[in-house]
Amino acid sequence: MILVGLTGGIGAGKSTLHPWVAALGWEVLDADRLAREVVEPGQVAFGEVVEHFGPQILGSDGGLDRAKLAAQVFADPEQRRVLEKIVHRQIHLKKQAYLKEMYDRNPQAKVVYLVPLLFERNLESQFQATVLIELDPEEQLRRLVQQRGMEPEDAKRRMSAQMPLAEKLKRADFVVNNNGPLEKTQAEVEVLFTRLAQLPQLDLQQVLDPHEPQ
């Protein structure tokens, strides 16, 4: 198996790249999707989140009201750390299970793991290579406001909660620039992931990370 980590700030375009790398034969594992799965009603993290933050973060359907929870944790760094500690262990366990399933199905699988906080959580050692989607902060803010409908101050808070782009650029093995036309970005992605497909194959024990997040 080949395992590559893909990251970028909020709104940088990780989901945009998803179908492009999939078309090149890569399997895509999305940490955001895993994060949603682990806080579904009945899951361990769901109970722990409700116990800590209270029933006011529930919606009318009995599930988490993500907007209420986000407003609470992004206004308070300590509460955000509590939430991350709760969900990250469960995400880790689910990621391990998915990787094993992928390996059992195809030991030569090429997998890209989309993880927003790759550098913030020092996860580089889990991957053969890391890829950063570069988007200038001014353009990032514009897209969050215009395309996602976020309030400017909320968007700025979300952005400031993540590592600055300049620091991520120093730490990434490869960078895809997403400031220009999509066609240019797609061409960069196709060249890069064709190159990454030549990385050495790993066995299952090399793929699975034995260290649980703290």
Which amino acids are annotated as binding site, given as ranges? 11-16
For residue 134, what are the β-bridge partners?
Answer: 177
Q: Quick check: 125 and 173 in contact, CB under 8 A? A: no
Residues within the annotated binding site for ATP? 11-16
Question: DSSP assignment of 71-84, as one string?
Answer: HHHHT-HHHHHHHH
Cα pseudo-dihedral 50, 55, 61, 67, rounded to 10? -80
The backbone region for 25, taken as left when phi is positive above 0, alpha when psi lies in -120 to 50, beta otherwise, is: left
What is the CA angle 181-145-135, rounded to 5?
40
